């Protein structure tokens, strides 16, 4: 028997990621759980990734997309209302972690029954005619595992490519890199009239058949309280989504009213640990004072603006304003915690 978690039809990605984590940590460890959900437009990066290397921040800020970090590894993915997400939360022994295809087989079976010739590759991603339609990632503790994945049913593939299109040449890090693949929508391989409800129903039937039955259950109030708290304190926090990136160095170059500026910035635990203005910034003068002022500042635009607000940048002999210098150092997308703040 498998138990399907009722997420109250929320499409909030912060809440859905929190439900997965709370299910792993707080629900009956002797039970197996399943969950399906559709998120609002968002980019979800892997636990060990650097958002700067994976996400087109100006694009997501301009269009109000959420950017979140999940607890599992793997690469960055784009979610929208044409993308169906699934999760399995279950017991594991360490040997079973080496081959997870048996957990994912009901997903493939559901697609096959709908006439979609889906096949696993060596990473247990699903492909049709050489193009990717589903990826997955996992997180495990000593006894339990979350295995979650995506199904590209009818996603906006233009937005998917734009949101994940990044010039990585200006960032140096050891963060895990996403591996790009050609993608296609499942809807292009389904009979006419087959929509989200059809694939959801087929998926439920195949999972129930595999697990010997399926029962949909609500989350207990106590667990919902934990979900709300985790969503707010973790998945909406800059510290988790941006600050948890592996240490990196970034080269920033731009043309400003003061001329061409180039700056090297080192970031660790989300904070500036070293910063050096290029030689061409001699027009500013006293650059070392600015460098010392910015040390230890969280690497997001709001914090840098605040840190520079007390500095009279004009006194360094340039027409550059503090706000223009802040925007030279950091993209607008690295600011707040939700689209309203990101686009400010």
CATH number of the domain within which 321 lies:
3.30.390.50
Are residues 162 and 309 located together in one domain of the fold? Answer: no
Which of the listed residues 241, 257, 279 is the one where a domain comes to its end?
A: 241
- From the list 20, 58, 54, the residue with the least C-alpha distance to 39 is 20
Give residue 281's pLDDT.
Answer: 52
Quick one: which H or E segment has residue 148?
A: strand 144-152
Q: Please indicate, yes or no, whether residues 302 and 317 belong to a single structural domain of this protein.
A: yes
Q: What is the mean pLDDT of the chain?
A: 88
Question: Which domain covers residue 316, as residue numbers?
Answer: 248-342
Quick check: 285 and 316 in contact, CB under 8 A?
yes
What confidence category does residue 261 fall into, taking pLDDT thresholds of 50, 70 and 90? confident
Task: Identify the pLDDT of residue 309.
Answer: 86
Q: What percent of the chain is modeled with pLDDT above 90?
A: 65
Query: What average pLDDT does the segment 164-192 reach?
Result: 80
Beta bridge partners of 260: 255
Residues 6+ apart with CB under 8 A from 9: none
16 and 88 share one domain: yes
Domain identity same for 282 and 133? no
- Tell me which of 183, 211, 241 is where a domain ends: 241
Q: Regarding predicted confidence, which is higher, 231 or 344?
A: 231
- 54 and 176 assigned to the same domain: yes
pLDDT of residue 14: 98
Q: Are residues 123 and 145 in the same domain?
A: yes
pLDDT of residue 335: 56
Percentage of the chain exceeding pLDDT 70? 87
Q: How confident is the model at residue 241, as a pLDDT?
A: 94
Do 192 and 144 belong together in one domain?
A: yes
The per-residue pLDDT for 320 is 74
42 phi-psi bin (left φ>0, alpha ψ -120 to 50, beta other):
beta
Which of 198, 226, 241 is a domain's end point? 241
User: What would the mean pLDDT of 317-337 be, rounded to a whole number?
Assistant: 74
Global pTM reads: 0.88
* Residue 333, pLDDT score: 65
Average pLDDT of the residues in 145-153: 97
- pLDDT on residue 318: 59
Closest CA to 252 of 170, 334, 307: 170
Our count of domains for the chain comes to 2
| Structure-model confidence comparison of residues 338 and 259, the more confident one | 259
User: Quick one: 70 and 91 in the same domain?
Assistant: yes
pLDDT at 338 over 50: no
Burial 193-222 (b: 16+ CB within 10 A, else e): ebebeebbebbbebbbeebeebeeeebeee
Nearest-angstrom CA–CA distance, 183 and 175: 24
Res 332: pLDDT: 73
Residues 220 and 270 in one domain: no
Same domain, 231 and 301: no
**Which band of pLDDT confidence, cut at 50, 70 and 90, is reported for residue 255?**
confident
Same domain assignment for residues 189 and 229: yes
At 54-83, the pLDDT tens digits run 999 889 989 999 999 999 999 999 999 999
Q: What is the pLDDT of residue 258?
A: 62
Q: What is the pLDDT of residue 315?
A: 47
> Higher confidence at residue 259 or residue 220?
220
Question: What confidence score (pLDDT) does residue 179 get?
Answer: 64
> What band does 112 get if pLDDT is binned at 50, 70 and 90?
very high
Q: How confident is the model at residue 257 (pLDDT cuts 50, 70, 90)?
A: low
Q: How confident is residue 342, by pLDDT bands cut at 50, 70 and 90?
A: very low
161 and 304 co-located in one domain: no
Residue 116 sits in a domain whose CATH number is 3.30.930.10
Helices marked H in the chain: 13-26, 51-54, 57-63, 101-113, 157-163, 196-211, 221-230, 238-241, 287-294, 301-308, 322-329, 339-342
Confidence of residue 339 (pLDDT cuts 50, 70, 90): very low
């Amino acid at each position: 028997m498998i138990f399907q978690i009722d997420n109250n039809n929320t499409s909030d990605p912060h809440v859905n990621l929190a439900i997965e984590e709370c299910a792993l940590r707080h629900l009956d460890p002797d039970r197996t759980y399943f969950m399906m959900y559709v998120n609002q437009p968002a980019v979800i990066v892997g636990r060990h990734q650097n958002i700067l290397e994976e996400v087109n921040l100006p694009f997501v800020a301009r269009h109000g997309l959420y950017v979140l970090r999940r607890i599992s590894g793997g690469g960055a993915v784009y979610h929208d209302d044409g993308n169906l997400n699934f999760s399995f939360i279950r017991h594991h022994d360490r040997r079973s972690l080496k081959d997870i295809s048996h957990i994912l087989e009901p997903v493939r079976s559901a697609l096959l029954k709908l006439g979609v010739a889906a096949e696993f590759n060596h990473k247990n991603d699903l492909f049709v005619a050489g193009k990717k339609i589903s990826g997955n990632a996992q997180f495990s503790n000593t006894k339990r595992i979350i295995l979650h994945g995506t199904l590209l049913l009818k996603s906006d593939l233009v937005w998917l490519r734009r949101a994940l299109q990044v010039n990585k040449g200006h960032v140096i890090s050891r963060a895990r890199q996403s591996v790009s693949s050609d993608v296609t929508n499942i809807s292009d391989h389904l009979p006419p009239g087959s929509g989200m409800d059809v694939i959801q129903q087929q998926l439920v039937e195949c999972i129930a058949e595999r697990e010997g039955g399926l029962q949909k259950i609500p989350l207990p109030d106590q667990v919902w309280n934990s979900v709300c708290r985790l969503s707010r304190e973790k998945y909406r926090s800059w510290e988790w989504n941006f600050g948890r990136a592996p240490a990196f160095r970034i080269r920033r170059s731009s043309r400003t009213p003061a001329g061409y500026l180039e700056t090297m910035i080192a970031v660790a635990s989300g904070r500036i640990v070293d910063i050096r203005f290029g030689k061409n910034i001699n027009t500013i003068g006293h650059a070392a004072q600015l460098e010392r002022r910015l040390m230890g500042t969280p690497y997001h635009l709001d914090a840098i603006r605040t840190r520079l607000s007390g500095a009279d940048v004009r006194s360094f002999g340039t027409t550059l304003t503090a706000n223009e210098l802040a925007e030279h150092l950091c993209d607008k997308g690295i600011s707040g915690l939700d689209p309203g703040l990101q686009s400010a």
